[in-house]
Structures are given as C-alpha cells and as structure tokens.
Amino acid sequence: MDISSLGEFGFIDRITDGISCTRGDTIKGVGDDAAVIDKDSDSYALISSDMFLEGIAFDLTYTPLKHLGFKCVVAAASDILAMNGTAEQITFSIGLSQKVTMEMADELYEGVRAACEKYSIDLVGGDTTPSMTGLAISVTAIGSVVKDQITYRNGAKNADLLCVTGDLGAAFMGLKLLEREKRVLNGNIEAAPKFDGYEYLLERQLHPLLRCDVIEALDKSGIVPTSMIDISDGLASEVLHLCRRSGVGARLYLNKIPISSKCFEFGDEINVDPVMAALNGGDDYELLFTVPVGRYEDVLRVGGIDVIGHVTAPEKGAALVTPDGGEITLTAQGWPAQE
C-alpha cells in the first residue's frame, strides 16, 4: 500500500491508532504540537520532536550549515511555543554522512549554539551516528507552561477569531529563489542569478525566528488563546489541524492573509501565486491561534498580529473566502495527497 494515498492525517491516525496513555502524569500524548506531562503543581512539562533529512527538509547545495543548525532549533522550539509555553532545553542528534567534514559539523553546531544563546535554551544532550545516506538531524525540544495557560489545538470555539503572527509565504518564495539559483549554477537555466532585493525572502527561508516575543506579548496583555498551532506546513494545513482537533469549521479571508510585498514581487517574477505560497508553502514558523471575538481590539493592540478570519460551526467546513465573496474549500498540500 502506498503511504501517500493515506495523506498525512490518515497516516498519523493509522500509526497512532490504539496508543493510549496509562500513566497519570501523561496529560496529552499524540495529537498536538507537543506532549504534555504533569511534573509539578504549577506547570506542565512540554516535549516535541522534529526530524530533518537531507534532500527532504534541506538541500546542502544552498543551505549554509550554520543557518541549518539555527533553523532546526527554531523549528523544534516553535512547537513548544504553540502550546503557549517556553522552550528551555533541546537535545540535538545527528546522523553524519561521509561527506560531512569536521569543519562542516562545527559550522552546524555554531548555528545550534547561536539559536540556543539567542533564545535562552540549553543544549542538554543528543546522539551521533554515521549515516549511509545524507545528513540527518533530530531535535527534541523541552519546555514548560503554566498549567492554566496551556493552549491546545482543540480549544477553538464557534465565532472565535483566527489570528496569525508575522507574514506568510516568504519562506517558500525564498526556497524557490534558492532553487532557481541552483538551476543556474548547474547550467540548467540561463537566467542570471539574482538575489539582490530579495534578501528578506532568503532570510525567511534560511533564518526563521522563534516567535517567543509574541508569546510574551500575549501573556503581558492577559490573552490566553483558545487554541494554537505553529505554521510549519503552510496556513491551510494548520487551519485544518485546528478545525479537526477542535471540531469546528473556519472562514479564512484571502485578502486578510499577511503577505509581504517582496513575496508578491518575486511571485510575479516566477509566476507563483503568493497566496498559494502562504497557504501551502510552509517553513514560516509563525503562530496561528484563536481568541474569543471579544478580544478583537486587545489582540490588535499587541501588534504584529493579523485577524484573518473566524471559527464557524463544524458543518460549514473550512473555506477560503475570496474578495468577491466566493468560497474555496481549504485543502492542505504540504504533504502527499490529503484525505
């Protein structure tokens, strides 16, 4: 049986079917951004793992290793933030292919250390092993959250506002830019390589930032989202995750999705729709969350947050609303064919 025929949700359902948690201190197992474990009276421990394989998650021909190390830490820690938590420790494991030299490994770990330092995360362990194929990286992020502030994917309620941080799609455009450069270097296309003016797109692809500033700002404003997820696989996929776990539908307004002007500019150049880049591109590591409609003004006052739609009753499904009022059913394309 071809796994891709199941789609991502179907595959996860299948491998997790029948897994039940029997320990009293396992508060939440599979099914959210991070597992939740009860360790003391005030806070929960959070744990999340991410894996990055050469040729799938990254291409070493255009990914500086220092950036790769930094990005892997951000990607893993972002799942802790998605629980409204603080990332505190990581373990970093690596499968080394023969072509990785000591200098390359040093560069990779330089990026890991830079991210840890920037976000006050301790590197506390990991494993190293030879890899027969490409470079493989696995990061486990550990963090904590005050018990009554934990935010799951499943808390979105009808009429809640859908909110998103930062802007979306630029990381995907950055990837397209790097891929074009690679084709130029390989002599496969003739266009002159051009990065000038598109530094922002490269920055978003190669050097994503951890949005702990938003988590802190929400906390200061006394806002606890009703549900939250980080945007690693594209907005469409993440909205569908929230809808599915919360048992709700959603309306997402196309012209409210925050997309940078650089994203539009480069999209024009290569004929890629920036809205599609935001919906299906991935690698943004921004946060998608819901708040009660009564918090509309409070959320806007936080800054750097856009309200892009609202939650609906489940029977309405999840759809994108176009400026002319038309509705397009949301599908996720971040992984092989969806259910």
Of 76 and 259, which has the nearer Cβ to Mg ion?
76
Q: 279 CB contacts (<8 Å, ≥6 apart)?
A: 234, 235, 236, 257, 320, 330
CB atoms within 10 A of CB 225: 26
3-state SS class at 45: strand
Residue 230 C-beta: closest distance to Mg ion, Å: 4
List the one residue from 54, 230, 233, 286 that touches Mg ion (CB under 5 A). 230
Does 233 bind Mg ion (CB under 5 A)? Our answer is no
Does 50 bind Mg ion (CB under 5 A)? Our answer is no
Residue 261 C-beta: closest distance to Mg ion, Å: 27
Q: At what angle do helices 261-270 and 199-206 cross, to 10 degrees?
A: 100
Does 286 bind Mg ion (CB under 5 A)? Our answer is no
Does 8 bind Mg ion (CB under 5 A)? Our answer is no
Residue 185 C-beta: closest distance to Mg ion, Å: 33
Q: Which residue is nearest to Mg ion (CB)?
A: 33
Of 8 and 230, which has the nearer Cβ to Mg ion?
230
Of 160 and 230, which has the nearer Cβ to Mg ion?
230
List the one residue from 33, 54, 88, 284 that touches Mg ion (CB under 5 A). 33
Secondary structure (DSSP) of 182-229: HHHHTTS--SPP--TT-HHHHHHHHS---THHHHHHHHHTT---SEEE
- Considering only the stretches 32-40, 84-92, 171-179, 281-289, report the one whose residues sit in contact with Mg ion under the rule CB under 5 A: 32-40
Whole-angstrom distance, CA of residue 228 vs CA of residue 219: 14
Does 79 bind Mg ion (CB under 5 A)? Our answer is yes
Question: In a 10 Å sphere around its CB, with 0-12 CB exposed, 13-18 middle and 19+ buried, how is residue 62 labelled?
Answer: middle
Residue 191 C-beta: closest distance to Mg ion, Å: 35
CB atoms within 10 A of CB 183: 13
Does 88 bind Mg ion (CB under 5 A)? Our answer is no
Q: Which residues bind Mg ion (CB under 5 A)?
A: 33, 79, 230
